[in-house]
A and B are shown apart, each in its own frame.
Chain A
Amino acid sequence: MDKTLLEALVRRAGLQKALAEFPDDVAAAAAQAETISEKLNAPADPRAEPWPPMKAGEGL
């Protein structure tokens, strides 16, 4: 992941302390997410709903 993007995401996530103390771990975490994200396929149908569906009036 590009360093500028990484630092921006770290700031947004509030992980500045982690980046200062454990830079290798932050980099590894970002790399994991990037790898998984590349492997994810969007559904072929753009109208496909996510799971679980919202169901008003049930449960709580």
Chain B
Amino acid sequence: MNAEVAADLHWLSVTDAAHAIAHRQLSPIELMQALLQRIDRLDPKLNAFIQLHADAALAAAQAAETEIMAGRPRGPLHGVPVGIKDIIDVAGLPTTCHSKVLENNIATSDAVVVTRLRAAGAIVLGKLSTHEFAIGGPSFDLPWPPARNPWNRDHHPGGSSSGSGSGVAAGLFPMALGSDTGGSVRNPASCCGIVGMKPSYGLVSRRGVFPLSFTLDHVGPMTRTVADNALMLEAIAGHDPLDPGSAAARAGRYTSKIDRGVRDLRVGFVRHFHEIDTPADPEVSAGLQRVARSLQMLGAEVHDITLPSLGEFGAVNRAILQSEAWSVHARWLSRQPENYGKLARRRLMAGAFYGAGDYVNAQRRRKEMIAAVEAVLRDYDVLLCASSMDPACRIDDPIEVERTYPRQARTPFNVTGHPALAMMAGLSKSGLPLSVQFVGRYFDEATVYQVARAWEQSAGMDKKHPPIG
């Protein structure tokens, strides 16, 4: 490992770190110490962590080094640190969901995704900030402050997997777990300029993850590069017989064709999302156009296609999400509404005011929407569309947060369950990330990664880091 890389260990990708550790070119202890020092210096400004588990992480790094030196590699992520969104159980640590309601809730076992990451050799660093119960944020009336955007700390890092997005982008850790019910992996990925994948519904186990909405919840990887994201998904994907939503589909080799390029792939551009349904900021529109043109230059066929409107997708998502979330929170909201922050309280109580017909009709329209997306994906390998319609707004401006929060095109793919990846499309004039989203066929995450990688490499998106620390 050369001196330049050693000085910048915090920007090391998962792939490079794992390779260097496996080949004894990098000590996992050295990597962990570098990251812990960076966390110590930067996290007080970013609030990515709810609970840092430094001593245990360092001990695990020492154990990893011993195993590797003894010729007993554990898996493809051996010795690589990971952050865990605080709605996901890690044995012995609190799962607070960033809420006073669960302030003292200690997990007795690991969520399945955490078990799989540990089996691959990853080291858990700690629990990360989220919007309260993955829905109420950014909030300043909770036991912990909201995470900040490392590109500009006055701005929102997106949510609900806020600490995951902020910490990965800032180089506090190279990978994190997030969850995505209406866009909560892809929103922070968009705001923070990293790569966030919401896999196909049922590909990654939700067991041990606090539910927001049973039929919309997904767990997904968040990383700085597309290849890292594919590698992390390989570690966490796979059937879980005890998760009722788990798919029978086998986990794939998501890194297998990542460098094949996009020649002759057919890309459907859902232009009406950002041009008609929810007109985007001009810089976002220009960014999407750049991505489409770049894929064409690389040999893909790009054609405009039409899906149901964002307004209707959004209504279906919201009615299902709030109805299901209400069934989780009704008892607590009835007895202890004061223990919720204002935003979570408002958004979760809404579920009490839907009728049964609203919920069932939303699920019926959902089936028709799935059919509409499936019909398009018979003719196209991947869809290209907006993720966020605006760069991240100021975090301390509740009116702007409320205005921009629903201006997005992520909820359609929670409704349909198709895999969807958000990543950087460039930087705005004010130095904030712009975003793009790629969507694929069910369980064809590999092709989504293939297209995302082609864009990343052609535009150097993996080389852009926030000006922090």
Known A42-B361, A43-B368: A36·B349 in contact at CB below 8 Å? no
Total interface residues on B, CB under 8 Å, equals 40
Q: Which of A29-45 contact B (CB under 8 A)?
A: 29-30, 32-34, 36-37, 39-43
B367 touches A49 (CB 8 A): yes
From B337, which residue of chain A is reached at the shortest CB distance? A18
A33 touches B354 (CB 8 A): yes
Q: Does A52 contact B (CB under 8 A)?
A: yes
The interface residues of chain A lying within 8 Å CB-to-CB of B311 are 39
Known A9-B352, A42-B365: A33·B338 in contact at CB below 8 Å? no
A14 to chain B, nearest CB (A): 4
Known A37-B358, A49-B364: A32·B312 in contact at CB below 8 Å? no
A29 touches B315 (CB 8 A): no
A43 touches B361 (CB 8 A): yes
Contact of A51 among B331, B346, B370 (CB under 8 A): B370
A36 to chain B, nearest CB (A): 5
Known A17-B335, A36-B318, A40-B315: A48·B352 in contact at CB below 8 Å? no
The interface residues of chain B lying within 8 Å CB-to-CB of A30 are 350, 353
A22 touches B345 (CB 8 A): yes
Contact of A21 among B319, B330, B338, B358 (CB under 8 A): B338
Cα–Cα distance between A49 and B370 once the two chains are bound (Å):
12
Q: Which of A1-37 contact B (CB under 8 A)?
A: 1, 9-10, 13-15, 17-18, 21-22, 25-26, 28-30, 32-34, 36-37
Q: Which of A13, A43, A51 has the most CB of B within 10 A?
A: A51
The interface residues of chain A lying within 8 Å CB-to-CB of B266 are none
Contact of B333 among A18, A34, A40, A41 (CB under 8 A): A18
Cα–Cα distance between A12 and B349 once the two chains are bound (Å):
13
Q: Does B162 contact A (CB under 8 A)?
A: no
Instruction: Identify whether the interface residues of B are mostly helix, strand, loop, or mixed.
Output: helix
B334 touches A13 (CB 8 A): yes
Q: Which of B128-186 contact A (CB under 8 A)?
A: none
A19 to chain B, nearest CB (A): 9
Cα–Cα distance between A41 and B146 once the two chains are bound (Å):
36
Cα–Cα distance between A19 and B348 once the two chains are bound (Å):
14
B311 to chain A, nearest CB (A): 6
Interface size class of A (residues with CB under 8 A): 20 to 34
Q: Which of B333, B352, B363 has the most CB of A within 10 A?
A: B352
The interface residues of chain A lying within 8 Å CB-to-CB of B346 are 25, 28-29, 32
Cα–Cα distance between A59 and B247 once the two chains are bound (Å):
9
From A48, which residue of chain B is reached at the shortest CB distance? B364
The interface residues of chain A lying within 8 Å CB-to-CB of B354 are 33, 36-37
Q: Does A57 contact B (CB under 8 A)?
A: no
A8 to chain B, nearest CB (A): 11
A33 touches B351 (CB 8 A): yes
The interface residues of chain A lying within 8 Å CB-to-CB of B349 are 15, 18, 25-26, 29
A51 to chain B, nearest CB (A): 4
Contact of B363 among A13, A28, A37, A51 (CB under 8 A): A51
Q: Which of B340-392 contact A (CB under 8 A)?
A: 342, 345-355, 358, 360-368, 370
8 tightest A-B CB contacts, nearest first: A50-B363, A33-B353, A29-B349, A13-B352, A14-B334, A39-B315, A18-B337, A51-B367
Given contact pairs A9-B352, A15-B349, A33-B350, enumerate 15 new A-B contacts (beta carbons under 8 Å).
A14-B330, A22-B338, A29-B348, A32-B322, A32-B347, A36-B358, A37-B354, A40-B362, A43-B361, A43-B367, A48-B364, A50-B363, A51-B215, A51-B363, A52-B215
A: which residues have CB within 8 A of B? 1, 9-10, 13-15, 17-18, 21-22, 25-26, 28-30, 32-34, 36-37, 39-43, 48-52, 59-60
8 CB < 8 A contacts A-B:
A17-B334, A18-B334, A29-B347, A33-B322, A39-B314, A43-B368, A51-B364, A51-B367
